[in-house]
Structures are given as C-alpha cells and as structure tokens.
Chains A and B, each alone.
Chain A
Amino acid sequence: MSDEETELSPAVGPDDHVSGNADAPITLVEYGDYQCPYCGMAHPIVKELQRELGDSLRLVFRNMPLANVHPHAEAAAEAAEAVAEQGHFWEMHDLLYENQTNLGDVALARYAAQAGADEGAFTAALDGGAPRTKVQSDLESALRSGANGTPTFFINGERYDGSWQLEPFLENLRSLLAD
C-alpha cells in the first residue's frame, strides 16, 4: 500500500512491550513470529541496533504468529505473554528466538522458568486466556496496519520496506537522527 496507508494502528501504548528510552526519537516496532527463521535472523540484528543506537532507540515487540506455516508460533507467543504478566517478557522473548527449533510445550514451560517466571502462575495465566487474547489482538493490528510478512518493522509508525540487514537498517535509522 502507499505510505500514508501503511501506518501503525493502534499506536504504541501501555499494552505494548517496550525496551529502551521512553523518550527516544526513534521507535522501532517489530511484528514477529517466534518460529519464523527470518525473524530469528533479524533478532541479533535488532539487538545490535539497540547497542549502536542506545538511548536514541525505543524497541517495541508485537506478535504476528503465522500459524499456517509455523505450528508452534501461537503457543510460543502466548507463552511469552504469560511470562510478561510476571514482568519477564524480554528474557522470554530472547529465549524463544534463541531456541526457535525447539518450541514444543515442554520446552516453552522450561524457558518460562529460565526467564524467571513462577511455574504455577505461568500455567494459570495461560489457562486464563488473556495471553491468547493479546496475541490475537496483536495479530489483528498487524493485518490492519499493512504488515506484509515476518518480520515486518515500523519506524516511527510507518512500515519499513527496506533491507533489515544490519548495515542498511542502521544507516536508515541513523539518517533519521541526522534530520
């Protein structure tokens, strides 16, 4: 779609997982799928962007599990949201991306514990259904915002169709700081 149409909706808000400076001039939103190999490749690149840009970058992660091609993606996303209820989202997020080839239910419970979550509370959160609602709401926001594959990035609210390899991505983000 054209630029004015591919805008992030809803805007970043209190329900989002945010890492970095809340007042950063650049907000990077990643719509990702924990079982998608391209998202796995992008993960260390995003970490490097955070290191390079420091307080200039605020990172937001939203779920976009493509269940037709990635059978464990929804369960992994829900597990991350369940762990988030205990304040350990980013630890879980990293563990999932670092263990993409092993996302079965037993493994997910193990990563939740490693991330620092209490097992009983983790299971109760999943049973309560809120993680599932959050994941589906993220997915709908991805579809309505014009996300077009995994991963899709939005920079300050606009879809980024350029390369997410480290150098061009970093160059693009730095050019925004120069303005």
Chain B
Amino acid sequence: MSPDESGATAQSGPLQKGDAAPEFSLPATPDQWVKLSELQGPVVLIFYPADWSPVCGDELSMFQAALGLFAKHGAQLVGISVDSSWCHLAYKADRKLGFPLLADFHPKGAVAKSYGVFRDDDDTTERAIFVLDAQHNVAWSYVSPVGISPGVDGALRALEALS
C-alpha cells in the first residue's frame, strides 16, 4: 500500500487532544510497512526533523533510554521523519534504536501534513509528539521548538493519565 491510499489530508495546525489520529501506512525499512491501525494499544508518535542531526539524536536516545518505562504502559514508540527508509536503516543501526523509524518520504511529508506538523519553509517536520490512546485518538500532543529536544516526561505523564 502506498501512502497515497491513506486518504490523508492536510491539517492547518497540530492535531489536539480528542482528535482521531489519521490512518497511515509508511515504510520502516525498504520492504516493511507499518500501518497505524495494526498497532495494538497506545502509540507514541515522535515526529522529528531529520536523521543524524544532533538534537534529534539526543531526542531519540532519550526515548530509547525510556523504552522500558513506555513498555510498562504497553505503548509502542514510533519515530517519523521525511528521510528515506534507506537513511533510517543506517541511522537506526548506528544509534541502536529499539523502535521503528518510519519514512514519510514519498509523497514527502504527507503524514506530517495530516497531523498538522509539516514545515513548509524547510520541507521537514516540526519536532512534535502525539500520544494516542488505545483507540488511536490523540490524548496529548506537543510541538517543541525545533532546536530544543523535548524530553520524554510529557509523553510519560500523558500515558500515565490514560491508565
């Protein structure tokens, strides 16, 4: 399935608490796709501007360090950027990340647009986090200044509030 079939439409601002999370299907590797509706339980979507950038590295490493805390809530972490799946493959191996990085690469940023976090001025995405409940409605969302890694505390608190 290509991202075109997700029927995603552009949002004017980041999705907020209570909004239904738009469906997507994106490649995690050149031959494996992840579909939101196939993920069980709560999901934490981490939109970040680019693989290899120093701030993104810090941000994803913090989520990796917190993987056990998120697992306690049965939550699945998913990173998303506009990099290609080949780029993600190299980056994920280098940083030893234990959660998928999805390629919102073609058409570029279509999923980010449907969540309202695409950046037209530089063709990347906002540094944004969406916590989805088990029914995949937005329980919490946060957009961080692009230059500042947000940390994992907000997402953790949002998950704790769900249970």
**Judging by beta carbons under 8 Å apart, are B153 and A146 in contact?**
yes
Asked if A110 is an interface residue, CB under 8 A from chain B, the answer is no
Interface string of A1-27 (1 = CB under 8 A from B): 100011000000000000000000000
Residue of A whose beta carbon sits closest to that of B157: A5
Partner of B150 from A1, A64, A140, A145 at Cβ < 8 Å: A1
> Chain A binding site: helix, strand, loop or mixed by DSSP?
loop
**Judging by beta carbons under 8 Å apart, are A143 and B62 in contact?**
yes
Asked if A150 is an interface residue, CB under 8 A from chain B, the answer is yes
Which chain B residues border A161 with CB–CB below 8 Å? 148
Interface size class for chain B?
20 to 34
**Judging by beta carbons under 8 Å apart, are A5 and B153 in contact?**
yes
Which among A53-61, A66-74, A169-177 touches the partner chain?
A66-74
**Judging by beta carbons under 8 Å apart, are B151 and A146 in contact?**
yes
Asked if B97 is an interface residue, CB under 8 A from chain A, the answer is yes
**Judging by beta carbons under 8 Å apart, are A148 and B69 in contact?**
no
Asked if A79 is an interface residue, CB under 8 A from chain B, the answer is no
Asked if A28 is an interface residue, CB under 8 A from chain B, the answer is no
Asked if A149 is an interface residue, CB under 8 A from chain B, the answer is yes
How many Å lie between the Cα of A130 and that of B149 in the bound state? 31
Partner of B153 from A1, A66, A68, A150 at Cβ < 8 Å: A1
Q: B95, B148, B153 — which one has the most chain A CB atoms within 10 A of its CB? A: B153
Asked if B59 is an interface residue, CB under 8 A from chain A, the answer is yes
Asked if B141 is an interface residue, CB under 8 A from chain A, the answer is no
Residue of B whose beta carbon sits closest to that of A159: B151
**Judging by beta carbons under 8 Å apart, are B65 and A143 in contact?**
yes
**Judging by beta carbons under 8 Å apart, are A6 and B151 in contact?**
yes
A window 111-146: CB within 8 A of B: 139-140, 142-146
**Judging by beta carbons under 8 Å apart, are B95 and A68 in contact?**
yes
Asked if A103 is an interface residue, CB under 8 A from chain B, the answer is no
**Judging by beta carbons under 8 Å apart, are A6 and B153 in contact?**
yes
Instruction: Give the Cβ gap from B111 to chain A, nearest Cβ, in Å.
Output: 24
**Judging by beta carbons under 8 Å apart, are A5 and B154 in contact?**
yes
Asked if A75 is an interface residue, CB under 8 A from chain B, the answer is no
Residue of B whose beta carbon sits closest to that of A144: B153
How many Å lie between the Cα of A5 and that of B161 in the bound state? 15
Residue of B whose beta carbon sits closest to that of A64: B65
Which chain B residues border A143 with CB–CB below 8 Å? 62, 65-66, 69, 151-153, 156
Instruction: Give the Cβ gap from B143 to chain A, nearest Cβ, in Å.
Output: 11
How many Å lie between the Cα of A140 and that of B62 in the bound state? 11
Q: With A143-B69, A161-B148 known to touch, is A149 a contact of B153 (CB < 8 Å)?
A: no
Residue ranges of B at the interface with A (Cβ–Cβ < 8 Å) = 55, 57-59, 61-62, 64-66, 69, 95-98, 142, 148-154, 156-157
Residue ranges of A at the interface with B (Cβ–Cβ < 8 Å) = 1, 5-6, 64, 66-69, 139-140, 142-150, 159, 161
